[in-house]
């Protein structure tokens, strides 16, 4: 089995061979520091020592997390010459202490404000399955770095789906935790209310290990769980509309596979619960309001430096009134209580992560209306569960020859993250055997 240092060397060699594409995936690389960390992990392994399941794993960090001595660009041209961070973000500190080998920082949508993954400043990384298609965002480089095998684990943020979307589009696993479990200190914010930090990896086990480290707990092996009698609910309504035939067919096949393993699948008449987040925010979103506050001065002083598509959404946030915003926060709490009560009926929710497979990049670069329509559809399903603050994971479905990746989203009860991850591992095994 290759050592950590050997795998790092292979990854860096691959990146070198990618030319400009490498710079669209990673905004910064740390080869010397990574080599030291990999060699230290290999020395521990040679002595039969281990710091845990992340020891020697190659990890990428989304470029909105602080790394000491490095500029945190958050995907924005205007931040290229900002002062370097003085400290690692707590999640980065914890990853290092667990023996993770930090390879570099990954590209992202400007200020994390889009699910598409296009960035006019740093370029747009091509999808791991087909470079002519979008990577998904906002953790675009994160999804591609795992999807192309450049790292074992990527750390992203998820405000409306920004971990699960690139995971689904690039054929990997992505986990969004219940928000309060993982510190967001040292992470450049998009929305104080909705931001969460989570991992992308090629397995549920790696996501679970990274999540535990990020949350400051001791990683435990996921307990084996049976799907026999598992109550899986399919929330009806919005998540199933406007889905491509390909996504629906693969999702139905996955449902059949889980049923064959004994899972009890039933449709839930939750149309109101699924529609409420979008309906309540029809005049403006929490994200737009809070982003407009975070960037209040820049929206006046340096407007020309913004990605115009990000700027237009932040301007909508500036136009929202304080009564509207406060009422929205209060209504959200009421709907969260309704959702928490409803979740007692099931063990898991199941639905497509995204209604479509990854669209081509070129048409979305050229046409604003096409971009915004795609962005809304891409974010639709995932953002529901940021609104309700439920843990959610996207699993890659078995690839159909000649097709792009499709993701399956499983959702658990709030603060029941460990249970969701264990059940997701059982589902992952069942899907692999199908």
Q: What is the pTM of this model?
A: 0.98
Q: Which residues are marked as active site?
A: 62, 138, 162
Comparing C-alpha atoms, which of 112, 58, 66, 55 is closest to residue 90?
66
| Per-residue pLDDT reduced to its tens digit, 375-425 | 999 999 999 999 999 999 999 999 988 899 999 999 999 999 999 999 999
Average pLDDT for 226-247: 98
Between strands 348-352 and 407-411, the pairing is: antiparallel
pLDDT above 70: percentage of residues in the chain: 100
According to the model, what pLDDT value does residue 296 have? 97
4-214 and 231-433: identical CATH topology: yes
Average pLDDT, the chain: 98
| Per-residue pLDDT reduced to its tens digit, 315-342 | 999 999 999 999 999 999 999 999 999 9
Q: Residue 337 and residue 333: Cα distance in Å, rounded?
A: 6
Phi-psi region of 161 (alpha: psi -120 to 50; beta: other; left: phi over 0): left
CB distance 206 to 351 below 8 Å: no
According to the model, what pLDDT value does residue 150 have? 98
Which strands, in side-by-side order, build the sheet including 153-157?
A: 26-29, 101-106, 58-62, 153-157, 197-201, 173-176, 392-396, 407-411, 348-352, 231-235, 264-268
Check pLDDT > 90 for residue 11.
yes
Domains of the chain, by residue range, sit at 4-214, 231-433
Between strands 58-62 and 197-201, the pairing is: unpaired
Comparing C-alpha atoms, which of 104, 110, 117, 93 is closest to residue 182?
93
Average pLDDT for 177-181: 98
- Is domain 4-214 in CATH 3.90.1300.10, yes or no? yes
pLDDT above 90: percentage of residues in the chain: 99
According to the model, what pLDDT value does residue 401 have? 87
Check pLDDT > 80 for residue 434.
no
Q: Among 1.10.730.10, 3.40.50.150, 3.30.70.270, 3.90.1300.10, what is the CATH number of 231-433? A: 3.90.1300.10
| Per-residue pLDDT reduced to its tens digit, 337-384 | 999 999 999 999 999 999 999 999 999 999 999 999 999 999 999 999
Residue 259 neighbours by CB under 8 Å, 6+ apart: 265
């Amino acid at each position: 089995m290759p050592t950590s240092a050997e795998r790092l060397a292979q990854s860096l060699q691959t990146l070198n061979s990618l030319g400009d594409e490498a710079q669209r995936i990673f905004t910064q690389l740390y080869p010397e520091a990574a080599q030291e960390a990999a060699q230290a992990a290999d020395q521990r392994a040679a002595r039969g020592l281990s710091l845990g399941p992340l020891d020697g794993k190659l990890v990428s960090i989304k470029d909105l997390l602080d790394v000491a001595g490095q500029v945190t660009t958050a995907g924005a041209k205007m931040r290229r010459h900002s002062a370097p961070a003085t400290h690692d973000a707590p999640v980065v500190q914890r990853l290092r202490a667990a023996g993770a080998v930090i390879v570099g920082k990954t590209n992202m949508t400007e200020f994390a404000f889009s699910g598409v993954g296009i960035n006019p400043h740093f370029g747009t990384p091509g999808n791991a399955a087909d470079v002519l298609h979008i990577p998904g965002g906002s953790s675009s480089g994160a999804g591609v770095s795992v999807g192309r095998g450049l790292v074992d684990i990527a750390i992203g943020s998820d405000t409306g789906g920004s971990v699960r979307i690139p995971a689904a589009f690039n054929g990997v696993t992505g986990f969004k935790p219940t928000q309060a479990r993982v510190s967001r200190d040292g992470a450049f914010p998009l929305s104080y209310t909705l931001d969460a930090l989570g991992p992308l990896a090629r397995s549920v086990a790696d996501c679970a290990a990274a999540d535990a480290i990020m949350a400051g707990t001791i990683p435990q092996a996921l307990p084996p769980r049976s799907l026999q009698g598992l109550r899986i609910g399919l929330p009806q309504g919005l998540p199933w509309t406007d889905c491509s035939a390909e996504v629906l067919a693969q999702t139905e096949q996955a449902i059949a596979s889980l049923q064959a393993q004994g899972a009890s699948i039933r449709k839930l008449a939750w149309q109101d619960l699924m529609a409420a987040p979008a309906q309540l925010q029809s005049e403006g979103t929490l994200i737009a309001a809070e982003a407009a506050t975070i960037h209040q001065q820049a929206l006046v002083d340096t407007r020309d430096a913004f990605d115009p598509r990000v700027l237009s959404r932040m301007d909508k946030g500036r136009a929202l009134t304080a009564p509207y915003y406060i009422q929205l926060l209060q209504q959200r709490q009421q709907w969260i209580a309704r959702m928490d009560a409803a979740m007692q009926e099931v063990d898991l929710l199941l639905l497509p992560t995204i209604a479509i497979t990854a669209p081509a990049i070129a048409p979305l670069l050229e046409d604003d209306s096409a971009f915004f329509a795609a962005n809304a559809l891409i974010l639709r399903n995932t953002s529901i569960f940021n609104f309700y603050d439920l843990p959610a994971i996207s699993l890659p479905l078995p690839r159909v020859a000649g097709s792009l990746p499709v993701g399956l989203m499983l959702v658990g009860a709030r603060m029941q993250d460990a249970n969701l991850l264990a059940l997701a591992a059982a589902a992952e095994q069942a899907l692999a055997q199908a």
